[in-house]
């Protein structure tokens, strides 16, 4: 499974050596980290890093002091309840996405049945659909909402906070 490998540059504890996240869990964790940082006047995460954090190309916070500050900000977001508001908002978005996707899945299934009837091929897959059906399938899939697939978990956030506090700087690979 693809994911993000985050390495501590000068860890002072084992927990700061390495943090692993799947692509599905990293996205909401990183987005939350950015959201918390944006609440402060002095940003620790630059616009460049905010974007680069979605890729595993070696970017990160390089200074221990910045990582510790970020860790403390994230912990404060738990202590003051911001994490609950954020999590509730994500849950609401996921429910909306799930409902949308059920409708899209039903339309895709109906399309599949029409294609099977038209082609007399019960094993046909979308890439082999006749052109007019393939375009319809592509348009339907474009409406699919992937927010449903990105979980946000408090325990994972706590691991991230612990990693940040002890990593001495990090790079996302």
Q: Which of 13, 6, 130, 111 is nearest to 60 (CA)?
A: 6
Predicted pLDDT at 148: 85
Instruction: Say how many residues make up the chain.
Output: 173
Confidence of residue 149 (pLDDT cuts 50, 70, 90): confident
**Is 80 exceeded by the pLDDT of residue 115?**
yes
Count CB neighbours of 172 within 10 A.
22
Distance of alpha carbon 24 from alpha carbon 104, whole angstroms? 21
Distance of alpha carbon 168 from alpha carbon 53, whole angstroms? 17
Long-range contacts formed by 54-59: CB under 8 A, 24+ apart: 54/27, 54/30, 55/172, 56/4, 56/5, 56/172, 56/173, 57/172, 57/173, 58/171, 58/172, 58/173, 59/171, 59/172
Convert the pLDDT of each residue in 20-67 to its tens digit. 999 899 999 999 999 999 998 899 999 999 999 999 899 999 999 999
């Amino acid at each position: 499974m693809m994911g993000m490998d985050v390495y501590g540059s000068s860890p002072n504890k084992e927990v700061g050596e390495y943090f692993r996240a799947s692509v599905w869990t990293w996205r909401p964790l990183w987005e939350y980290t950015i959201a918390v940082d944006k609440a402060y006047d002095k940003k620790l995460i630059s616009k460049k890093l905010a974007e680069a954090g979605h890729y595993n190309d070696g970017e990160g916070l390089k200074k221990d002091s910045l990582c510790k500050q970020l860790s403390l900000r994230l912990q404060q977001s738990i202590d003051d309840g911001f994490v609950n508001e954020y999590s509730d908002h994500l849950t609401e978005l996921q429910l909306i996405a799930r409902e949308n996707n059920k409708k899209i899945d039903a339309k895709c299934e109906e399309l599949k049945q029409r294609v099977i009837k038209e082609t007399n091929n019960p094993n046909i897959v979308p890439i082999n659909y006749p052109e007019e059906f393939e375009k319809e399938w592509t348009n339907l899939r474009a409406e699919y909402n992937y927010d449903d697939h990105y979980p946000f978990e408090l325990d994972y956030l706590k691991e991230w906070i612990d990693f940040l506090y002890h990593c001495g700087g990090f790079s996302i690979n």
